[in-house]
Amino acid sequence: MKDSFGREISYLRVSVTERCNLNCVYCGKTDCAKKGAELSPEVIGKLVRAFAKCGINKVRVTGGEPLVRSDICEIVKLIRAVDGIKTVSLTTNGVYLKKYAKDLKQAGLDSVNISLDSTDGSTYRHLTGADVLEKVLEGIDEAEKAGLSPIKINAVLMKGVNSDGAGELVNLAKTRNIDVRFIELMPFSDSGIDKSLIVTGNDILTQFPFLRPLGYYEGTAEYYSADGFAGRVGLINPITKKFCSECNRIRLLADGRIKPCLGYEEAYDVMPFIDDEDKLENEIRNIILKKPAGHSFEDGKKHEGLNRTGG
């Protein structure tokens, strides 16, 4: 269905947990390992069915870190079984991906995005608080073997922190059939509200002038490539190129609230309607109509942590 600004809302991000096994400096998380409210696979399936009746056809499973849930494959299988859902993807930090990649593919997962902000061990440890880079790299390999496609690397660069490692990340797109996407730092932490740390999309293009535009967007990413590249480089620029007028997504949080926009604090509880399909569908439609025109990242305030908002 369309929201009040005429945007066709077809993409649902489902946060299945607020828990995470890492503590990334730009994420704004606290008590990462603490378990809060989490919906059962059956309730998630029921909610996705209601969203599908409202026009949703693409679902991305997020967190927190979704692979901390031992029933993650059951969740993916139930989402895949919903009539009208065409694609199911997942965003992960990759630490447990080697363990789950094959089973996730068999459950019906199509593709995977992996957060990887540095290929340098010490920098990665500084950014995430954990010495698990090798596990993440093994997870990427296992995802390829399992046939998950496309595989996308999401990287947030910060000046003077990990920006000097951008070349190694670009090299992944050159040597492997992987998309590497650079996402501008957003205000979800103390680091995120420091605008001097932001590495913009234009900064990337200045640093790598050989990248040529492919002339299209996929979702929020504008893609580039170069001669001899096996993969692509994507730029996601929510700060310098506000793309809210094209936004087609809505978020289901881990506690059953719906958040129409990542960059606004409002979220609406639909759990009182969970046992009445008609009322649940109607409430979702009403919430979609409340989706704001755009995010408020320019207000200079720190927003709720990414583990609580579905990233």
Structure tokens at 4: 């009040």
pLDDT of residue 229: 98
What's the Cα-to-Cα distance from 235 to each of 18, 205, 215, 229, 300, rounded to whole Å?
Answer: 26, 9, 12, 16, 22
pLDDT of residue 43: 98
Per-position b or e across 283-295, b if 16+ CB within 10 A of its CB: bbbebbeebbebb
- Each residue's pLDDT expressed in tens, for the chain with a length of 311 residues: 999 999 999 999 999 999 999 998 887 656 676 678 899 999 999 999 999 999 999 999 999 999 999 999 999 999 999 999 999 999 999 999 999 999 999 999 999 999 999 999 999 999 999 999 999 999 999 999 999 999 999 999 999 999 999 999 999 999 999 999 999 998 766 665 688 999 999 999 999 999 999 998 888 899 999 999 999 999 999 888 878 888 999 999 999 999 999 878 899 999 999 999 999 999 999 999 999 988 766 665 545 555 555 55
Global pTM exceeds 0.85: yes
pLDDT of residue 223: 98
SS3 134: helix
Which residues, 6 or more positions from 24, have their beta carbon under 8 angstroms from its beta carbon?
115, 117, 127, 128, 129
pLDDT of residue 302: 47
Q: What is the C-alpha to C-alpha distance for residues 26 and 187, in angstroms, rounded to an integer?
A: 8
In what side-by-side order are the strands of the sheet with 179-183? 212-218, 221-225, 232-236, 179-183, 151-156, 111-115, 87-92, 58-62, 11-15, 249-252, 257-259, 268-269
Neighbours of 138 (CB within 10 A): 17
pLDDT of residue 304: 57
The alpha carbon of residue 18 and the mean position of all alpha carbons in its chain are separated, in whole angstroms, by: 13
Place of tokens 């447990």: 96
- Quick check: 307 and 64 in contact, CB under 8 A? yes
Question: DSSP characters for 43-111?
Answer: HHHHHHHHHHHTT--EEEEESS-GGGSTTHHHHHHHHHTSTT--EEEEEE-STTHHHHHHHHHHHT--E
Structure tokens at 35: 């378990």
Element (H, E) at 122: helix 121-128
- Quick check: 48 and 14 in contact, CB under 8 A? yes
Q: End-to-end CA distance of the chain: give it in Å, rounded.
A: 23
For the chain, which domains are there? 11-309 (3.20.20.70)
pLDDT of residue 193: 64
- Quick check: 185 and 145 in contact, CB under 8 A? no
